[in-house]
Amino acid sequence: MEKLLVHGGSRLKGTVTISGSKNSSLPIMAATLLTREKCVIRKVPDLSDTNYMVRILATLGADVERASGNVITSAENVSHQAPYDLVRKMRASVCVLGPLVGRLRQALVSLPGGCVIGDRPIDLHLRGLEALGARVEVKGGDVSVHAAEGLRGAEVNMRGKHGSTVLGTGNIMMAAVLAKGQTIIEGAAVEPEVSDLAAFLNAMGAKVQGAGTRTIVIEGVDELGGAEHVVIPDRIEAGTFLVAGALAGDDVTLENVCSSHMGELINFLRQSGHPVNELPGDRLHISSGQDVRGNDLVTGPYPEFATDMQAQVCALCATTPGISVVTETVFPQRFMHVPELNRMGANIRMEDSTAIIRGVERLSAAPVMASDLRASAALVVAGLAAEGTTEVNRLYHIDRGYENIDDKLHRIGARVERVSQ
Ligand code: EPZ
């Protein structure tokens, strides 16, 4: 098992190149199952999650190869049964359901387990597939979906009590593109990753309109062809480095970003007193604000404040003078980072799914335990400005969603070391 030693105190300076989006790459890789022809997906980050998806596609029978940031697939003959031992390791595997049912009229995928950020149901995915005419059976931890006559277009709603489902919207889009007739998805997720998936599906010959709005209209086609696609920048990785720059940055530039995908975070940082500047050529610049103050935020489905940025912002607010109130509405339990930040001297009190953060002068290093992808990133960010060397254990959590995070941190002057335990 590896851990990251984060030596606090260095001021960050330099340019970091943001990778392609993990949360866009995963459904797009699954969508390649919809055609026998060759697909080339560019700027797929080299992460354990995307590597899991490569293995799942290969185990399903596709020819898959990775070459310098590209994933090249040819899914000529695929099985309908996703491998349990791989699927159970990554919730996002559920997004092979839609393409498998769309193309093969059947799928057998194991139910994703819960995880530390909360229960991860897929009821909205399954209800959507039933609306398209599939028969869904959950048995022995597996989801079995059949549509012997093929799927038929229908009106489906992807909104749950915590907002619209991102992967659910993607799954139903991927199932509907080969269905007979028209599908209308109401209450669709409007995340940029949904729009990116729709762009890829349309490049394959699908007829998807309205992605990025709450209503997506899909006209089913008989078959799809191969396509090439460049994945959008990872707005959460970019946000994580932006927060690092706010916390400990003298002069940090991010390149390969899409700042229009990061509106709520940029507004939050500016309102807190951190100068964020949008530069030409898809770049952002940030340095620590000189006169910063506590600020409040409530997470929500896009375009509201991203739940995936909540932990990192808690790390920033831990040493921001004044009181900050952070409320989580998407995954109400997503506060595994709070006890670890408090071990580092933060003053965070929980009230249900709200963190009341009283800024302290400085955090102090401590051995801390990573628990999920974004909480781990928050602990690394907190360590950058803490007194001493913070030891972030269970580094595999970070490697799921951040490509070469140590190299990127080194490039902007952070003193971090990856060591084996
Ligand atoms: C995607 O997960 C992202 N993952 C998550 O990022 C992100 O936190 C989440 O969207 C919300 O933005 C990928 O895209 C691979 P949801 P997803 O379905 O699609 C409830 C990261 O850190 N819900 O939008 O699985 C659910 O419990 C990861 O990169 C149902 O009730 O999330 C949650 O409260 C973590 N029934 C809310 O909806 C369902 O059938 C949003 O979940 C599906 C979801």
Cβ 195 vs Cβ 52: under 8 Å: no
Q: How far is the CA of 360 from the centre of ligand 1 (A)?
A: 32
From CA 174, how far away is CA 99, in angstroms rounded?
5
Residue with CA at minimum distance from ligand 1 atom 25? 167
Residue with tokens 């990778």: 19
CA dihedral of residues 381, 383, 386, 391 (deg, nearest 10):
170
Nearest ligand 1 atom to alpha carbon 49: 15
Ligand 1 neighbours by CB, cut-off 6 Å:
23, 26, 91-92, 119-125, 160, 162-163, 165-168, 193, 307-308, 330-331, 373-374, 401
Give the C-alpha distances (Å, rounded to integers) separating 66 from 69, 237, 409.
7, 21, 25
pTM above 0.85, yes or no: yes
Residue with CA at minimum distance from ligand 1 atom 24? 165
Q: Which residues of 300-312 are buried (b: 16+ CB within 10 A; e: fewer)?
A: bbbeebbbbbbbb
Residue with tokens 């659910």: 168
Residue with CA at minimum distance from ligand 1 atom 9? 166
Residue with tokens 């997906």: 41
Q: How far is the CA of 197 from the centre of ligand 1 (A)?
A: 16
Nearest ligand 1 atom to alpha carbon 374: 22
Nearest ligand 1 atom to alpha carbon 122: 40
Chain length of the chain: 421
From CA 390, how far away is CA 354, in angstroms rounded?
26
Long-range CB contacts (within 8 A, 24+) of 141-144? 141/110, 141/111, 142/84, 142/108, 142/109, 142/110, 142/111, 143/97, 143/107, 143/108, 143/109, 143/110, 143/111, 144/106, 144/107, 144/108
Q: Which of 142, 66, 140 is nearest to 100 (CA)?
A: 142
What phi and psi values does residue 214 have, to the nearest 5 degrees?
-75, -15
Pocket probe for ligand 1: among 115, 167, 232, 328, the residue whose CB has the most ligand atoms within 8 Å is 167
Residue 339, preceding bond cis, omega within 30 degrees? no
DSSP 192: H
Angle at 67 between CA 63 and CA 72, to 5 degrees: 35
Q: How far is the CA of 13 from the centre of ligand 1 (A)?
A: 34
Residue with CA at minimum distance from ligand 1 atom 43? 122
Q: Which two tokens stand for residue 31?
A: 């969508």
From CA 384, how far away is CA 10, in angstroms rounded?
7
**Which of the residues 115, 258, 314, 317 is marked catalytic?**
115
From CA 168, how far away is CA 339, in angstroms rounded?
31
Long-range CB contacts (within 8 A, 24+) of 133-138? 133/179, 134/101, 134/175, 138/111
Q: How far is the CA of 111 from the centre of ligand 1 (A)?
A: 15
Active site residue 317: no
Cβ 25 vs Cβ 70: under 8 Å: no
Nearest ligand 1 atom to alpha carbon 160: 31
Give the C-alpha distances (Å, rounded to integers) separating 315 from 215, 310, 360, 378.
36, 9, 11, 6
Nearest ligand 1 atom to alpha carbon 117: 35
Pocket probe for ligand 1: among 29, 120, 191, the residue whose CB has the most ligand atoms within 8 Å is 120
Cβ 368 vs Cβ 345: under 8 Å: no
**CB neighbour list of residue 197: distance below 8 Å, 6 or more residues apart:** 24, 27, 28, 31, 170, 173, 174, 211
From CA 194, how far away is CA 274, in angstroms rounded?
30
- Domains in the chain with CATH codes: 2-19+233-420 (3.65.10.10), 22-230 (3.65.10.10)
pLDDT (tens place) for every residue of the chain, 421 residues total: 899 999 999 999 999 999 999 999 999 999 999 999 999 999 999 999 999 999 999 999 999 999 989 999 999 999 999 988 888 888 899 999 999 999 999 999 988 766 777 778 899 999 999 999 999 999 888 999 999 999 999 999 999 999 999 999 999 999 999 999 999 999 999 999 999 999 999 999 999 999 999 999 999 999 999 999 999 999 999 999 999 999 999 999 999 999 999 999 999 999 999 999 999 999 999 999 999 999 999 999 999 999 999 999 999 999 999 999 999 999 999 999 999 999 999 999 999 999 999 999 999 999 998 888 999 999 999 999 999 999 999 999 999 999 999 999 999 999 999 999 7
Cβ 134 vs Cβ 145: under 8 Å: yes
Q: Which of 188, 68, 267 is nearest to 276 (CA)?
A: 267
pLDDT of residue 89: 83
Q: How far is the CA of 309 from the centre of ligand 1 (A)?
A: 13
Residue with CA at minimum distance from ligand 1 atom 22? 308
What phi and psi values does residue 63 have, to the nearest 5 degrees?
-85, 120
Nearest ligand 1 atom to alpha carbon 191: 12
What phi and psi values does residue 224 have, to the nearest 5 degrees?
-120, 155
List the beta bridge partners of residue 142: 110, 139
Q: How far is the CA of 311 from the centre of ligand 1 (A)?
A: 16
Give the C-alpha distances (Å, rounded to integers) separating 301 from 168, 175, 192, 262, 328.
13, 23, 11, 13, 11
From CA 122, how far away is CA 113, in angstroms rounded?
10
Residue with CA at minimum distance from ligand 1 atom 44? 165
From CA 379, how far away is CA 314, in angstroms rounded?
10
pLDDT of residue 349: 98
